[in-house]
Every structure is written in structure tokens, then in C-alpha cells.
Amino acid sequence: MPLYARSWKAKTGISFLAMSVSGVVYLFVSTKVSAGATMSDSHISEHRLQAAAAARAYLEKKISWDTFMEEFSDSRDERIQELVDLIEHEPKVGNFFGANAVEWSHYQSALVEVIVLLESD
């Protein structure tokens, strides 16, 4: 689980996420250029922000897996479905069949990348 995570958006439209996992610091940067948003784009964007916030809450153990899935598992948004799939197939850590530190780190990176993309859309 992340020890520290912080995201912010600069006035230039560039989004940043800094995250520390097992002593390794990751910095993700995302940009988006838009010619203008329509009403449906605004609704999609809001739903994506809600999904990203719920995923962060799940990672911080503030909401349960069931709560997250009840809200977002039936979303038609491909990016949200990618997030749901990652959370649904979260690897177990340790033990004989569990993910090792490298596999867990790759999973966490993929998950954070999708969250940042949802926040920047």
C-alpha cells in the first residue's frame, strides 16, 4: 500500500501525482489539450473524477472493495472499466502464490497511472 500519495493540477493543465510505495518514489505527469468541452464531456469528466477519488479512498482503506464495485463496476466508460478491472484483480502479496515486491510495484504503478489519467481527463 502507498505510504504517501499526493496529486495536484497546475494552472497550465498539467497534472502531477507523487507516490511512495515501499520506499520507491514515483512521479507521474499527465497533460491534456482540449478544444472545448461539451455537456457530455463534462459529465464523463465528473464521473471519471469520482471514480479516481473512490479508487484513492479504496487504496487508503477508507471504503471497501464492495463499495467501490457497487458504484463503478457497471460503468460504460472504458477508462473506468480499466480501473475496475485492476482493482477487481488486485494481486495478493506474499505467501507461496502471492505477488512479490516487483510484481506488486508494477501493479501499483499501473493502478496509479489509470487514476492519474482519470483525474486529467
Flag whether 96 is in a domain: yes
pLDDT class of 96 with cuts at 50, 70, 90: confident
Q: What is the pLDDT of residue 2?
A: 45
CB atoms within 10 A of CB 99: 16
Flag whether 107 is in a domain: yes
Helix (H, G, I), strand (E, B) or coil at 55: helix
Flag whether 14 is in a domain: no
Q: Extract the C-alpha cell encoding 46.
A: 465528473
pTM for the model stands at 0.63
Asked if pLDDT for residue 53 goes beyond 80, the answer is: yes
Which residue segment(s) compose the domain that 66 sits in?
35-120
Flag whether 21 is in a domain: no
Q: Are 120 and 49 in contact (CB under 8 A)?
A: no
Task: Provide the domain count of the chain.
Answer: 1
Q: What is the pLDDT of residue 1?
A: 45
